[in-house]
Chains A and B, each alone.
Chain A
Amino acid sequence: QLLEQSPQFLSIQEGENLTVYCNSSSVFSSLQWYRQEPGEGPVLLIALYKAGELTSNGRLTAQFGITRKDSFLNISASIPSDVGIYFCAGQPNAGGTSYGKLTFGQGTILTVHP
């Protein structure tokens, strides 16, 4: 199972909106978005479980595709502290032994200029 994440790099001005995309040929039970700062662990931003689900967390909005093969994460009104690496991670079938064997995208490195 592979997750293609784009773009790889994103450099924007403070206040701008941005969107990160994840696509796969595989179906996932759920999809999670994480943000990671250098030397720190990934921090969960949004978890998506239902096909077509649209979920918001403050300035963050994410949607799980109808086919469960894709997702996007949108951040509105970006601020300098949004910088970091954003990962999408797909989770295989719930309840199976491979439940926590997340497949990560390659990451999107976000820079926000004041």
Chain B
Amino acid sequence: AAGVIQSPRHLIKEKRETATLKCYPIPRHDTVYWYQQGPGQDPQFLISFYEKMQSDKGSIPDRFSAQQFSDYHSELNMSSLELGDSALYFCASSLKRLGDSPLHFGNGTRLTVT
């Protein structure tokens, strides 16, 4: 079965640079979520989109923005990168319109800021 696809898998950036992470949800899933996981931490919710509209926001820095496009893929844009932004970034998708629907996660993008 098709899963959530994230790209790139690894990304190395320098401080103050910009990064763009991409997510392709499971086909027909209508909701996309972004999570950040620091070393040894549990995943922390950043932002979500339902039918291409932002539906909820977590502890996402103002330097980060995200959007969901007409084909349902999503991009997380991160500017003025800081060393503390180094983490695993996961995208997840679900079929929210069915009601109870679990989240399915991608394999993540490992961002390293030097």
Cα A87 to Cα B43 with chains together (Å): 10
The 0/1 profile, CB within 8 Å of B marked 1, for residues 56-72 of chain A is 00000000000000000
**Chain A residue at smallest Cβ distance from B48:** A100
B81–chain A nearest beta-carbon distance, Å: 20
A47 within 8 A of B: yes
Tell which of A10-18, A37-45, A74-82 binds the partner.
A37-45
Residues of A within 8 A of B105 (CB): 34, 41-44
Which size class do B's interface residues fall under?
A: 20 to 34
Contact at A104–B56, with CB atoms within 8 Å? no
Cα A100 to Cα B104 with chains together (Å): 11
Residues of A within 8 A of B88 (CB): 39
**Contact among A29, A47, A107 with B42 in the assembled complex (CB-CB below 8 Å):** A107
The 0/1 profile, CB within 8 Å of B marked 1, for residues 83-114 of chain A is 00001010100110111111011110000000
Residues of A within 8 A of B42 (CB): 87, 104-107
Using A87-B42, A97-B56 as known contacts, say yes or no to A29 and B100 having CB atoms under 8 A apart: yes
Cα A106 to Cα B42 with chains together (Å): 6
**Chain A residue at smallest Cβ distance from B10:** A39
**Chain B residue at smallest Cβ distance from A101:** B45
A56–chain B nearest beta-carbon distance, Å: 16
B9–chain A nearest beta-carbon distance, Å: 9
Give the B-binding residues of A (Cβ under 8 A): 29-30, 32, 34, 39-44, 47, 49, 87, 89, 91, 94-95, 97-102, 104-107
Which 8 residue pairs are nearest across A and B when measured between Cβ atoms?
A104-B42, A41-B105, A47-B102, A100-B33, A41-B107, A49-B100, A101-B45, A42-B105
